[in-house]
Structure 1
Amino acid sequence: MEKALSTRLKWVERVSHLMDEQFKIPGTNFRFGLDPIMNFIPIAGDLGGFAVSTALLLTMAKHGVSRKVLLLMTLNIILDSTIGAIPILGNIFDFAYKSNSRNIKLLKEHYEEGKHQGSGKGIIAWIIITLILSFALIVYVLWATISWLAGML
């Protein structure tokens, strides 16, 4: 890893690894982290993963990645959190999608390969609003799913 990422955001990469790739299934190359495990705890796991991803995103925004990178990272988080909130399907999806790892890849492309240049500092408020709306959507998906499951009983 190049110095640009390692000196600025090394801890972001460590947290991302913990959330998405910390563990390996023996005899395979398949890796997973705490995010899909946390999602086995209804509501709290989904919201916890969303909070960690949001904190990582805001840290990256603070360090000035481009607007395009921030938007792509936000979309990764929204997709992961919204689909991840759906029982069973969401658990399977979380083992495969790994939004934090995708966001680290975008970050490396920005700092190491010079892709997606520009500053993202001017859109932090927009991202915060988008994430708040996403949070509301996740809560709604959880509520609707729980209501639907309760109606089946």
Structure 2
Amino acid sequence: MICLIQRVSQAHVSVENQIIGQIEHGILALVGFQPDDTSDKIHKMLHKLLHYRIFADENDKMNLNVQQVFGGLLLVPQFTLAADTQSGLRPSFSTSAPPAMATKLFDELVQKAQLNYSNIATGQFGADMKVNLTNDGPVTFYFEI
């Protein structure tokens, strides 16, 4: 499981010119799945997303997590994160989870996130999404579990 997260001052996802997920300040998480991903990996990644300290405290140190700043978490499925880019000039998606599996895993991630935190928004699996964001910092991290 791969996540590319960005600390944002705002972010939203649109499908066919309609906003389907939106947050003010918080974390935009682009999420990619691989064939060996499991519920256990989802649990570990969600814990990291909700507890990773990337927001400034009163001393301007990255010491607070998204929950402590009452920020949003926008989860956006992005199968291209799991692409094999090691050779050639075109990505191979043989290292990405098959669509049916990835859909199930993304749905599980969203359900668990909503059970653990109230400020969750999402993109739409398989849709042609437009993601708009203002990266705050910029602050961007890559996680792989």
Q: Shared fold (TM-score greater than 0.5)?
A: no
TM-score where L is the length of structure 1? 0.31
Q: TM-score, normalised by structure 2?
A: 0.32
**Higher percent of residues as helix:** 1
Higher strand share: 2
Instruction: Give the number of the structure with larger relative contact order, counting CA–CA contacts within 8 Å between residues 6 or more apart.
Output: 2
